[in-house]
Structure 1
Amino acid sequence: MRRIRAAASTALTLSLLAVTATACGGGTANVGGGSDTAPKELTYWASNQGPDLAADQATLGPELKKFEERTGIKVKLEVVPWSDLLGRILAATASGQGPDVLNIGNTWSASLQATGALLPWDTGRFAAIGGRDRFVESAIGSAGAAGQDPAAVPLYSMAYALYYNKKMFREAGITGPPATWDEMATTGRKLSGDGKWALGAEGANLANNIHQAFVLAKQHGTDFFDAAGRPAFDSPGAVEAVKQYVDLMAKDKIIAPGNAEYAQNQSLQDFANGKTAMVLWQSAASSFKSHGMKEGDWGVAPVPVPAGGTPGTGRGTNSMVAGINLAVFKNTDNTAGSLEFVKFMTSDEEQKILNKAYGSVPPVKAAQSDPAFAGEDLSVLRTTLGTSAAPLPQVPQESQFETAVGTAVKELFADAAAGRPVTTESVKARLAKAQQQMAS
């Protein structure tokens, strides 16, 4: 079997430096999983979309069985935690060990595209799954670098929202969610105390750190990359953005110090258990329900903006364009079966089933007409995606950016939790170090 060439780009070479030893295992099957001796089998790495891995197995299992019954192709499923997923993918692109089909965060599209390891979605391949025009164009725009065939196909679309516990708000005498960051601090102080906290965060979740910092940087009128695609991590606006986020713990003291060590989904558990009153998250309704909350227990509102901000402008940006894409490794031995699987997963029927289960928005236009996507939660997400969300930079270094700057934010949260000062100078130093790591 052909193997993907290692270090297909500078981005891949540098990104591999961040892969942990545990992530380097990559799996035991060659890329393509279904070899010449097993053409009726595919391997699929799904990202952890539900509250835990078992929930994803339960959601996807019946659908994959349905696909097998229709096509005769068995799908070997592995649900990969977000903390491991990027490292596993990078290791697979270098070693040739991995799945046929896999989920990728849409922010990684250009980075993984630059490795040359993913099957490009040209006009012919889109035609095989019903055509490119079936998909929302903004979702396609987050599937690879501009001017190139997309490296993946949109599967789930999401945006960030502010979720708040209605009971905790009533008990504190607060009539509605904060719309600005000044209101967040004021409201947060009223909600914090007696072992409860206003806002949940996940300081050890690198991807979430990046998403929050990116949005705040936009609100400060800047980005982490300049117009030429060069890193600008320690620019004044970026420094202000990261400091503002960490100051929710360090200065405003509305985030529990223990959140500095929180990883994927831990903030959702605290919210569902009444330990925190608010959380900034993507499409969280299904997770809340899995933890025992009922419809009506929580409210949903747009993420706060600076006072005077207008949605659709830089100051009014309140989410990154979030989502999950479905990709195929270029050297799979079962291209036809992989394309058939992508066609199944992006069919109108499956888009309704899967996006309902995960509380996300279908990137397939026809599926959005289902009444299930007209409720309060998804209406806020759809409006945000359409009016005030911005895509993370589609640059080859994006995955390195998530690792380097996400780690810098993690370290700053650790400082805040330990009572060490978080100053403009300390934030700038951490971000300058992250930028140096990119350059090296």
Structure 2
Amino acid sequence: MTVHKFLRKSAVSAAIAIGLGLSPAMADNIVFWVNSPLASGPDAPIYAEIKAFEKETGHTVEVQPVAHMEMERNLFVALSGGAGPDVMALDIAWVAGLADAGLIADLSEKSKPFAAEYQAGPLASGRFDQRQYAMPLYTNNVALFVNDRMLKEAGIDKAPANWDEFHKAAVAMTNKDKDTYGLTFGGSRMGAFQLYSFIWENGGDIIDETGKVRVGEPGAVDAVDFLAKLYTENHAMPESVLTAGSWDEVNAPFIQERAGMLISGDWALSALEKGNPKLEFSVHPLPTGKQAATVIGGYNLAINANSSVQDASWQLARWLTGPRSVELMHKYNRLSATVAATTPEAIAALPEKQRPFMQQADAGKARPVVAAWSQIHNEIIANVWDSVLRGKPAKDAMAEAATAIQGLLGQ
């Protein structure tokens, strides 16, 4: 290559890099911990994307897949000891704890010029104490899965679009003699995750943006009461709701065609189709209460606060979460967290059963980003849901939860 061609190629690469929020730099090696489903084999799309990044920037990336169930614990141990990866994939529920511990880098200034490119809910999931600590890699939310045959046999010609229709459909598909139910739902922490959307749809909140604990207020109480009574009074949920502690257990009655509706995310699609290839079901936005809302999940990318390659790490995080993420996540049948993924054209390119999730993306809300969230969810809200299912008045259970959360937060 002539010097002229080399300089011209370098200038083009630099221009592309700057447009992505990157800056030309000396080559660095970046250690990247990624959730293992994204790096399931040598042909996984993430590896081709990494190669493109390496070619464009000159950096090298060492990809290390880590199982979801091991990632959070391994990160806390490694980072607390001054080790760990440079860039890491985080379940959005882990961001606050790692940020509060000072283990991940503050990306506020680096991310500010690009904030408008991301959906509001997923971007907020990477924020702690008004600072941005992680960028959204992909997002998901929960929608309504409906057994089309059961709905039709119940005399209903369209999926429920609001709470009243949702309640009527759940009752109509319940038949004690046939051992069928209107809705399958989770117990403990699984059920807690499913009910958050309904709390927000009812105008309620858990912990608002100012840090005020609001689970004891009518909006939250009434939403929990509405859902619990589908089991305690209408008997429209199977008894498995008391013990269902995994998505497999929540999905089972729907797969077996014993429950006509399921509230879950796009991760359920492959499980349902594998569990019952003949199952005729459709997916719809969540039935709306006082307002539309859906709890978001997904993974973010963060940077080790002690990384010696901060600039290169930011370049990788931006590369994977920026405009290229639409195509990258499409290869995984996952949803990009960028605004570009919400255009009519981008939604139309998705598989039919994935479209409702992106159609309701604007209504997506992140769970409270507080350092103690895992404990609040797994112990306090989970226990509330269990106790209400077993007959405790929702008002009393939520009042106790508010007191417990306030105590945990030192309020």
Q: Same fold per TM (> 0.5)?
A: yes
Residue matched to 2:226:
244
Could you tell me which of 282, 285, 291 is aligned with 1:302?
A: 285
1:275 to 249, 254, 258: 258
- Aligned residue pair count: 372
- Which residue pairs with 1:332 in the alignment? 307
Is 1:202 the counterpart of 2:197 in the alignment? no
Partner of 2:3: none
Counterpart among 374, 393, 397 of residue 423 in structure 1: 393
More divergent stretch after superposition (179-188 vs 388-397): 388-397
Structure 2 distance, partners of 1:65, 1:272, is: 34
Unpaired runs of at least 5, structure 1: 1-38, 47-52, 307-314
1:89-119 Cα shifts (integer Å, max 9, x gaps): 5555545565443333335544543332212
Q: Distance in 1 between matches of 2:402 and 2:116?
A: 42
Task: Tell me the amino acid that sits aligned with residue 201 of structure 1.
Answer: F
Say if 1:151 and 1:327, in contact at 8 Å, map to a contact too: yes
Question: Per-residue deviation at 1:217?
Answer: 2.6
Whether contact under 8 Å (1:246, 1:412) holds in the other structure is: no
User: Among 357, 367, 372, which residue is 1:381 paired with?
Assistant: 357
Compute the TM-score of the two structures, normalised by the length of structure 2: 0.75
Cα gap change, 1:162 to 1:357, in 2 (>3 Å) = same
Q: 1:438 aligns with which of 382, 390, 408?
A: 408
Aligned to 2:24: none
Which residue pairs with 1:105 in the alignment? 91
The answer to whether the aligner puts 1:218 opposite 2:200 as a matched pair is: yes
Aligned-residue identity in percent: 20
Q: Which residue of 2 is the match for residue 285 of structure 1?
A: 269
Partners of 2:231 and 2:238 within 8 A in 1: yes
Q: 2:140 aligns to what? A: 158
Say if 1:236 and 1:190 are closer, same or farther in 2 by CA, change over 3 A: closer
Which structure has the larger Rg over C-alpha atoms?
2
Q: How does 1:38-437 map onto structure 2 within 5 Å?
A: 40=29, 42-46=31-35, 57-58=39-40, 62-67=44-49, 69-70=51-52, 71=54, 72-81=60-69, 89-90=75-76, 94-96=80-82, 98-124=84-110, 131-145=114-128, 147-148=130-131, 150-193=132-175, 194-204=178-188, 206=189, 208-225=190-207, 228-266=210-248, 267-283=250-266, 284-293=268-277, 297-306=280-289, 315-335=290-310, 338-346=313-321, 348-363=323-338, 365=340, 369-370=345-346, 373-374=349-350, 376-386=352-362, 388-412=363-387, 416=389, 420-424=390-394, 426-428=396-398, 430-432=400-402, 434-435=404-405
Gaps of 5+ in 2: 1-27, 55-59
The amino acid that maps onto 1:304 is: P
**TM-score, normalised to structure 1's length?**
0.71
SS in 1 for 2:167: helix
SS in 1 for 2:245: coil
CA displacement at 1:376 relative to structure 2: 4.3
Contact 2:213 2:405 in 1 (8 A): yes
Q: In the TM superposition, what is the alpha-carbon distance from 1:175 to its structure 2 partner? A: 1.4
Distance 1:62 1:336 in 2: 26
Distance 1:366 1:184 in 2: 29
In structure 1, how many angstroms separate the alpha carbons of the residues matched to 2:152 and 2:213? 44
Contact 2:203/2:219 (<8 A) preserved: yes
